[in-house]
Amino acid sequence: MGASKTEVESTVREEEEEAEKNHTMAGGEVTPIPLLTPYKKGKFLLSHRVVLAPLTRMRSFNNVPQPQAILYYCQRATKGGLLISEATGVSDTAQGFPHTPGIWTKEQVEAWKPLVDSVHAKGGVFFCQIWHVGRMSTSDLQPNGQAPISSTDKPPKPLVLAGSDEVTELTPPRRLKTHEIPQIVNDFRIAARNAIEAGFDGVEIHAAHGYLLEQFMKDQVNDRTDEYGGTMQNRCRFTLEIVEAVVNEIDADKVGIRLSPFANYNEAGDSNPEALGLYMVQSLNKYRILYCHMVEPRMENAWEKSETPHSLLPMKKAFNGTFMIAGGYGRDDGNNAVSNNCTDLVAYGRVFLANPDLTKRFELDAPLNEYNRETFYTFDPVVGYTDYPFLESTV
């Protein structure tokens, strides 16, 4: 069931006045909350620094965004707030999970348009995350039942989604031939162009979490002997070629990237993550992209925080654009990260999923809804999707 016009109009009206408020009262004086202070990101003037992280929700049936997503994104949009879409496939070989959206067909582009319009109607800024899962797939999700493509032919371990006991046996991948790689680069370029046609303000290239781009970048996976394997420069070549192609297509001020050098998602670790992260941000400066979105080293796996000796601060100092971090942040440590100049923006995932009025709750230091992992990846168009409650004062 899709969102009704009344529901969407109601959420558009919500926070019209609230979006202008980004301070709390303390001792009779206005005290700024670091997370809720304005920030200029390129040509975009953000009213706060709380970002909706890209979150796979598996409710885009047959890889086409559905009307119910209008309400989902609209609920979380604020005037001057940045939202990043769920990971969106660049081609029919990019899919690794059922009912994830794509942006390689005309039908998909047209389906995205009302979603983007709903976010813009609330004054939000909306970027589309474009991805390719690489070897994290099965032949059932691939065209003509073929093997998934990757940097390697090494198969990953079976996959278990959060909130599920079901084990998915992944199909052993096929190693991309050197001459095939430019076609994948071109798929990202076309996806970026399609995203702009759909009305998005820009794209975020998904180069994290053990998907295709990391399968090339990280030496735990990449066992190639051609110009895309071996040295760090060779392993990063594919990702940087994609960045260059996307920048040339839609301009650097509409391009961001997500990286997770320290993480071991989907068995994609690296022997020298510090050097990998620094090499990537320094190389990205050449293309003058808008932002770099980095996953904290404390998020070594998908769901649990752990303390590590690593730091993203050298990468922030080395990168010339806007720096964004993600990694299980809350209100207090998010505020500290901003106030201590460790980041410009903070992306929130699970907590934003469960609290569509997250910025208001941060403003009031109000209690947060608990998220339910069991409904993260169900196909229900409402449950665990658009039914998380708002604070009474914002409804």
- Cα atoms found within 13 Å of the Cα of residue 64, Cβ hemisphere only: 10
Q: Is 211 a catalytic residue?
A: yes
H or E segment to which residue 273 belongs: helix 273-284
Distance, CA of 332 to CA of 335 (rounded, Å): 5
Residue 20, SS3 per DSSP: helix
Amino acid 120 reads H
Residue entry with tokens 């080395």: 318
Question: Among 69, 31, 34, 61, which Cα is nearest to 50's?
Answer: 34
**How far is the CA of 174 from the CAs of 158, 200, 310, in angstroms?**
17, 33, 34
H or E segment to which residue 84 belongs: strand 82-84
Active-site option among 211, 291, 348, 377: 211
Question: Among 322, 374, 330, 375, which Cα is nearest to 349's?
Answer: 330
Q: Is 232 exposed, middle or buried (0-12, 13-18, 19+ CB in 10 A)?
A: middle
Question: Among 367, 355, 293, which Cα is nearest to 327's?
Answer: 293
Beta carbons within 8 Å of 278's beta carbon, 6+ residues apart: 314, 315, 318
DSSP annotation string for 86-135: PPEESSTT---STT--B-SSHHHHHHHHHHHHHHHHTT-EEEEEEE--TT
CB 81 within 8 A of CB 74: no
| N residues, the chain | 395
Task: Cite the active site residues.
Answer: 211
